Amino acid sequence: MAQQERELLSTLSGRLDKVLAEALGQSRNQVEKLIKAGAVEVEEERVCKPSHRVEEGQRIRYRFLEAPRREELPVDFDVEVLYEDEHLMVLNKPAGVVVHPAPSVREATLVDWLIARGVRLSTLSGEERHGIVHRLDKETSGAIVIAKSNDIHRVLSEELKRREMGRYYLALIDHPLREDVTVDQPIARHPKNRLKMAVLPGGRQARTDFLKLEQGSDGGELIAARLHSGRTHQIRVHLAHLGRHILGDETYGFKSKGAKIPRIFLHARLLYLTHPATGKRLEIAAPLFADMQRYLEKYYERSLTDETLQTHAFVDRFAELFGAL
């Protein structure tokens, strides 16, 4: 269904997508999709090419497109809300929950949980995104931010691109790292297994800092990771490049030694961002889930672990060893 048409007079000359994006305060990507959908007219003529030249003073008529409503699935899980105000919320995503629906996903997702809470955002080009700014893999748990309006979504997305928003991760790995290390290696789709990524020449630039935290009696180690880029499976791929694997991550080479690992032990521990409305810096810690906590209690010294998990302790160490982000 189309929304009511609106009209404006161009105050600039140039490409239609650039002029309209400037006038609406929207991204050129969204405006380009709107134009290609046939929802824009210049001087009463429909224009479907984003590169169409517009002159100052010309009339541009446009309409936002409503997102189609998808079938809502029953939600049989709950999600802890770590922070919420009128503009955004930060959630502690459980492992096993998919963030976005897909043709291959038949169970309820985080998006279904958001729909049940009344969070429905649609872009001007008719895509429904429910405020999702960044993703976490299905088996990864931890902090994820949700925007409650398109304006907040746009600002947070820009923060993410500039790396002004990000997360620190905790992971349990099968063998200790030799040293605190930065891996700066390109990542691309695996040439033989489309479900995997790999370090490959010609891939997209990717950089991860790894920090040793504490060794366990199982022969493994608790580590922290800080991302300078946001590639698919980046932490898992860069660890595999070092010959290390996250417990439970059989996709990238973990082999169980008899221990029952319920899922991939990777957790987005700390989320940081600048609040788009207030300008204040937010740092929000996501508590570990019971499965990962139980493993730590079994194989790691409790007194050391409690101190290690203090977020500011390892954040400060990242800054000392690798420099500020």
Q: Is 46 helix (H, G, I), strand (E, B) or coil?
A: strand
Give the C-alpha distances (Å, rounded to integers) separating 178 from 13, 23, 210, 245: 58, 54, 11, 14
Longest dimension (CA), the chain: 73
Active-site residue among 17, 137, 209, 249?
Answer: 137
Structure tokens at 136: 């976490």
Tokens 């489309």 map to which residue?
194
CA distance 264 to 211: 19
Residue 291 annotated among the catalytic residues of the structure: no
DSSP state of 190: -
User: Can you tell me whether residue 16 is helix, strand or coil?
Assistant: helix
Cβ-proximal residues to 317 (8 Å cutoff; 6+ apart), any chain: 211
Q: Which residues, 6+ apart, have CB-to-CB distance to 179 below 8 Å?
A: 212
* 141/208 Cα distance (integer angstroms): 19
Q: In angstroms, what CA-CA distances link 264 with 17, 171, 172, 261, 307?
A: 43, 9, 9, 8, 23
Instruction: Report the alpha-carbon distance of residue 130 to residue 121 in Å, rounded.
Output: 5
**Residues designated catalytic:** 137
